[in-house]
């Protein structure tokens, strides 16, 4: 979390009532909206694709040292349930302690990857998953460093649109072939 020092927290981060889930439904909805946006922006800023609720509960995201306030774990779970309802979170485990956080949906990632492949003449050419997220040709792309699970989900959205075929998934030479 080295980049977190440069993250610009919104004004409500320093508003003490922000750290108590509000009982009034209208106020609570606005509060969850604000928390949801903050979580997604924070994860995007740090390129956090997978979050463990117990670990992140101790981070500066939910602990404001200046105010000596924190959102408790029950409140954090409410925020993440809200994010799940907005399709920004997908749980990895049945206990709902680990999840993928989406600032772009897998479909949006897939579209960006396909656009890149098209612009770089890779239609009908195989490409390894490593090349997509770690290769020299993608260093400046938004999907560089993308979590492998999210990458595969993104490529599956292209496969469902008949724009790609996944190859050798689960082996050491995983790849994709982009189709016209």
Q: What are the tens digits of pLDDT across the range 157-170?
A: 999 999 999 998 77
Cα gap 109→12, rounded to integer Å: 30
Q: Give the chain's domain count.
A: 2
Judgement on whether residues 92 and 110 belong to the same structural domain of the protein? no
Would you call 24 helix, strand, or coil by DSSP? coil
Judgement on whether residues 37 and 90 belong to the same structural domain of the protein? yes
Judgement on whether residues 13 and 85 belong to the same structural domain of the protein? yes
Judgement on whether residues 135 and 148 belong to the same structural domain of the protein? yes
DSSP-assigned states of every residue in 116-143: HHHHTT-BTSEEEHHHHHHSGGGTTSTT
Q: What is the pTM of this model?
A: 0.85
Which tens digit of pLDDT belongs to each residue from 10-68?
A: 999 999 999 999 999 999 999 999 999 999 999 999 999 999 999 999 999 999 999 99
Judgement on whether residues 43 and 123 belong to the same structural domain of the protein? no
Domain boundary among 80, 101, 122: 101
Judgement on whether residues 92 and 71 belong to the same structural domain of the protein? yes
Mean pLDDT for all residues in the chain: 93
Task: Report the DSSP beta bridge partners of residue 100.
Answer: 50, 90
Model confidence at 3: pLDDT above 80: no
Which tens digit of pLDDT belongs to each residue from 99-122?
A: 999 999 999 999 999 999 999 999
Give the CA radius of gyration of the chain.
19
Contact (CB, 8 A) for 89 and 36: no
What domain range is 151 assigned to? 106-178
Judgement on whether residues 75 and 156 belong to the same structural domain of the protein? no
Residue whose entry in the numeric block shows the structure tokens 């998934």: 169
């Amino acid at each position: 979390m080295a980049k977190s020092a440069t993250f610009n927290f919104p004004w409500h981060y320093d508003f003490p009532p922000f750290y108590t889930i509000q009982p009034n439904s209208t106020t609570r909805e606005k509060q969850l909206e604000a928390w949801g946006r903050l979580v997604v922006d924070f994860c995007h800023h740090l390129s956090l694709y997978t979050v463990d609720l117990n670990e992140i509960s101790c981070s500066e995201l939910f602990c404001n040292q200046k105010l000596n306030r924190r959102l408790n774990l029950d409140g954090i779970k409410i925020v993440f349930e809200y994010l799940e309802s907005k399709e920004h979170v997908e749980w990895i485990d049945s206990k709902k302690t680990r999840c993928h956080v989406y600032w772009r949906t897998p479909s949006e990632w897939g579209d960006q990857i396909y656009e890149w492949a098209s612009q770089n003449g890779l239609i009908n050419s195989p490409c390894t998953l490593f090349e997509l997220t770690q290769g020299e040709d993608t260093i400046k792309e938004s999907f560089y460093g993308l979590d492998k699970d999210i990458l595969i989900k993104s490529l599956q959205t292209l496969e469902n649109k008949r724009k790609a075929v996944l190859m050798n998934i689960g082996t050491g030479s995983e790849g994709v072939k982009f189709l016209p």
